[in-house]
């Protein structure tokens, strides 16, 4: 079974600075997707960014980018120019493309605080 590990329960960053959230995963599969979701205090899960494992190029969405290291099974999220609205719980998630169900496996989450 696949597992996702987020080793940083809490992180903090100053407004306008850059922060990197870590995520590692364990799988024997070669075809999968990786996601970062954020969950603000409203508890609405919001997709931040996604990465297909077969793509070598790191995904980027405005101020959010990932560092995808397939061999190392690492998928970190970099938030540039942090804003107060970025404060949230961030979840890394894995989805297999080889087994049925399209289920997401989530990490434990990282609570990000943005300091003004």
Partner 1 sequence: GAVVSQHPSRVICKSGTSVKIECRSLDFQATTMFWYRQFPKQSLMLMATSNEGSKATYEQGVEKDKFLINHASLTLSTLTVTSAHPEDSSFYICSDRQPAADTQYFGPGTRLTVL
Please report, as ranges, the residues that interact with partner 1 according to CB under 8 A. 33, 35, 37, 42-47, 50, 91, 95, 101-104, 106-109, 111
Closer residue to partner 1, CB minimum distance, 101 or 116: 101
Q: Which residues, other chains included, contact 104 with Cβ-Cβ below 8 Å and sequence gap of 6+? A: 35, 93, 94, 95
Q: CA–CA distance from 40 to each of 28, 62, 90, 96 (Å)?
A: 32, 19, 8, 26
Task: Please tell me the distance from the alpha carbon of residue 40 to that of residue 96, in angstroms, as a whole number.
Answer: 26
Please report how close the Cβ of residue 91 comes to partner 1 at its closest, in angstroms: 6
State the nearest-atom distance from the C-beta of 15 to partner 1, in Å.
24
Q: How far is the CB of 52 from partner 1 (least distance, A)?
A: 8
Q: Count Cβ atoms below 10 Å from residue 29 Cβ, excluding itself.
A: 12
For partner 1, the closer CB: 10 or 17:
10
Nearer CB in complex with partner 1: 25/35: 35
């Amino acid at each position: 079974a696949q597992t996702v590990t987020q080793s940083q329960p809490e992180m903090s960053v100053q407004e306008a600075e850059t922060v990197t959230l870590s995520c590692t995963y364990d799988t024997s599969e070669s075809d999968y997707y990786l996601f970062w979701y954020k969950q603000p205090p409203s508890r609405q899960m919001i997709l931040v960014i996604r990465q297909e494992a077969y793509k070598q190029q790191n995904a980027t969405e405005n101020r959010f980018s990932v560092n995808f290291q397939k061999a190392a099974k690492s998928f970190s999220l970099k938030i540039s120019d942090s804003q107060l609205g970025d404060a949230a719980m961030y979840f890394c998630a894995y989805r297999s493309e080889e087994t049925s169900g399209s289920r997401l496996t989530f990490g434990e989450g990282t609570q990000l605080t943005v300091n003004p």
